[in-house]
Amino acid sequence: MRTVETDVRRALSFSLARSIRSPPSKHVSVKQWKKLQEKWHTSLGQAIEWKKTKGKWPKVNRKGDREEQRLYDFLYRSTPGENGWTKDRWAKLNAAFGEGWEMDCFPCLGTGGLLEKGHQRNPRDEIKWDATLADLVRFEKDNGRFPKDKGGESERKLYYWLYNTSDTSGTMYSKERAAKLDAAFGDRWQSRAFPKSFYYW
């Protein structure tokens, strides 16, 4: 008899050992990557169980169910172009939910971010954003690292600006801005800017 439990177990058996290969970044050890992969597979099983028992996708729930918010973030950050995506993970998500599941779960993907469809950002906001990005590039070049939240006032401002811009569930994020950050700092720069954050894997 097919049950939620058997579906979850089946999803977690998607060749876990085969997926724990060399990490995608030189900044992560094989041991760290193995741990991150195990956490990812656990979250996948929880997402499958959530969808089957609730009959719906997890949504943004910042003031209510923390588990729902966590699963929402996990699924979003596993979509193409996000920092938790890999070909292997994407194949497992499609096998679990069916191809095209991401558009059903995240209608906002059709607008390139969490803003309403047709919304246009204020050009002055984009000019200010680009200027802050230039400041961040200079900081990283001069210091050989990304800003930290325990630095001086100007450093902390850059840290939280980058953190909020990288938050795919926030209104500062957009695909265009993410592309600019990737162009400035390279692929998977998040592993250097936020090394302790699981969501960036």
HSE value, Cβ hemisphere, 13 Å, CA-based, for 72:
20
3-state secondary structure at position 147: coil
Helix (H) or strand (E) holding 39: helix 30-54
* Residues belonging to the chain: 201
pLDDT tens digits for range 1-29: 445 444 444 544 444 444 444 455 555 67
Measured CA to CA, the distance from residue 78 to residue 102 in angstroms comes to 10
Helix (H) or strand (E) holding 173: none
Dmax over Cα atoms in the chain, in whole Å?
A: 61
Measured CA to CA, the distance from residue 108 to residue 117 in angstroms comes to 8
Residue spans of alpha helices (H) in 55-174:
66-76, 87-97, 101-105, 123-143, 153-166
Which among 80, 86, 102, 195 is positioned nearest to 149, based on CA atoms? 195
pLDDT tens digits for range 62-99: 677 789 889 988 998 888 777 788 888 889 999 999 98
Which among 37, 44, 40 is positioned nearest to 21, based on CA atoms? 37
The pTM is what? 0.50
What distance, in Å, lies between the first and last C-alpha atoms of the chain? 35
Residue 15 CA to its chain's centroid (Å): 22
pLDDT band of 134, cuts 50, 70, 90: very high
106 burial (CB, 10 Å; 0-12 / 13-18 / 19+) is: middle
Cβ atoms of residues 44 and 93 within 8 Å: yes
Side chain identity, residue 61 = N
**Extents of the domains making up the chain:** 4-15+28-105, 123-196
pLDDT tens digits for range 27-71: 567 788 788 889 999 999 999 999 999 999 998 876 777 898 899
